[in-house]
Amino acid sequence: MTLPPLTPGRGLTSWDLDLPTVVLLAVAVLTYLARGRRRSAKDLTMTGLGVLGLVVVTCSFLGVYDHTLFWVLAVQDVLLLTLVPIPLVMAGTRTWRLSPLAGSVLATGTLTAIYVSGWDQARLQHAWLFAFTHLLLVGVGCLFLGPLLQEHGGSFAARALVGFVDGLLDAIPGLAVLATHGVIAADWYSKHGRSWGPSALTDQQIGGTAMIALSELVGLPALVLLLTRWMRADAVEADRVDAHLDQASEGSQAVGDDEQRPWWEQDAGPLADRARRHGWTDDPPP
């Protein structure tokens, strides 16, 4: 089916049910909820926001035009990898074992591989692979953002550094697309040509540029969340240290009162007994 030109109005009103993705999503959510552990209101809210984000990204105009315009598909991929996973990793108290740096490299490598291999062509031709790629990008995004944003995941300073380094790595997939001289998935776009919009190569260049810009932009919420958790953890640690110092100060004050007394009052012996008998101290006589 040939789609009409994408305009701002159609961008707001174009919606379509991405049935394969919705089915796989429903299976994943039901599996998560059926694991038996009671979910808090926060966990359910964060999970709901993640599911809502996935539905919007795959069923809005991004889902309607993702087989027609390269730049639309590129934007969809970046959002699935970097934005949709944020509320999902905030649900629950899971401990992520993967290092944030390894997760960043995995996310960058996965998105790059989709466009520099024949994967993009294959997923456009097969609906099941297209839906699987959606969930794969969300899963890989969780493997990166989970270790990065978890409450107890090692040094916040080290993770903040990884966040800044990831800002540089995020540009690699877009640069790889821009560096490609031919049209990616050329067979698909030649067979499903359109009479409107930019040429296939220009569309691809727009998509590569959008990937770079959007990756940097949507990475900011994760970085802000990480810095917020860092400040909160520092405040908790400061309160703990203050309480420890107060307790130590009270103990040293009690010890200090004893140390200010003359040695013959502190040490047991004849002089201490004589001082107590003659009333030279506040201690009662023996």
Domain boundaries, the chain: 13-238, 240-277
What are the residue ranges of helices labelled H in 91-126? 100-116, 119-125
- The reply to whether the predicted model has a pTM over 0.85 is no
User: Which residues does 169 contact at the CB level (< 8 Å), separation at least 6?
Assistant: 104, 105, 108
What are the residue ranges of helices labelled H in the chain? 8-13, 19-33, 41-59, 61-64, 70-82, 85-90, 100-116, 119-125, 127-149, 156-169, 171-179, 186-191, 200-259, 263-266, 270-277
The DSSP string of 173-200 is HHHHHHH--S-TTHHHHHHT--SSSS-H
pLDDT per residue over 39-88, tens digit each?
778 878 888 888 889 889 999 999 999 999 999 999 999 999 999 998 88
pLDDT per residue over 150-163, tens digit each?
777 677 788 888 88
Residue 76: strand, helix, or coil: helix
pLDDT, greater one: 234 or 123: 123
Residue 259 has pLDDT above 60, yes or no: no
